[in-house]
Amino acid sequence: MEIRIGIINTGRELNFETPANVDEVRTQVSAALEQNTAHVSFVDVKGNSYIVPTANLAYIELGTEESRRVGFVA
């Protein structure tokens, strides 16, 4: 699943793919915001870790879990 994170006062967004499903990420982010946690962390498909401060979150866009189609559609 693809995740795009917008960070306040930053011109670029953080974009990566994660093996987690939409519900797992949604509950993780919701819990971090409700509990006023200082940061939320993610792991991408390559094993890289991302730690994002919750105070600076502008938005989080969760993509679909289906893979992209390759080729022509008739």
The reply to whether CATH 3.90.1200 applies to domain 2-62 is no
pLDDT at 74: 60
| Sheet with 14-17, side-by-side order of all strands | 14-17, 2-7, 57-62
pLDDT at 3: 93
Per-residue HEC secondary structure of 47-59 comes to CCEEEEEHHHEEE
Q: What is the pLDDT along the chain (74 residues), one digit of tens a residue?
A: 899 999 999 889 999 999 998 999 999 999 999 999 999 999 999 999 999 999 989 999 998 766 666 667 66
Q: Which of 16, 14, 8 is nearest to 55 (CA)?
A: 8
